[in-house]
Structure 1
Amino acid sequence: MDGKRIRSLRKERGMTLNQLSEYSGVSKSYISYVERGLQKNPSIEILSKLSKAMDITFIELIKHMEK
């Protein structure tokens, strides 16, 4: 999974890292690790929280990350 795609999706949605963290309940540092590729396998629970916060389906998020 490519965390850079999470960053691009977040930016497409006009969200800051702080906003995504606040809306998802996932720590800013963890999201940053995912986006920078330091955390390569976030759990389904984390990805689900991120997708809900960005107002997309879990499947759309996964597809976006696999491109």
Structure 2
Amino acid sequence: MSRTQSNAYVIEIHDRAAGIVTRDTRGFRFFSSERLFDSLEGRQFRSAREAERAARAVFSERGRRAN
């Protein structure tokens, strides 16, 4: 049985599509789908999970600034 891994993942934070990450030779590159996450645009991550953690941090920081 062969296992295949996806080459792209949607990153969602609290039901919001933060962006997608696509696999390349160095890891995963982030593409923002919402202005809030534009600071991550084009950043390289070792894993899709690492990109998700970064998007969660951006979302959390926004909440702290709003208070």
What is the TM-score of this pair, normalised by structure 2? 0.30
What is the TM-score of this pair, normalised by structure 1? 0.30
Q: Which fold has the larger relative contact order, with Cα–Cα distance below 8 Å and residues 6 or more apart in sequence?
A: 1
> Which protein is richer in helix relative to its size?
1
| Bigger radius of gyration among the two | 2
> Which protein is richer in strand relative to its size?
2
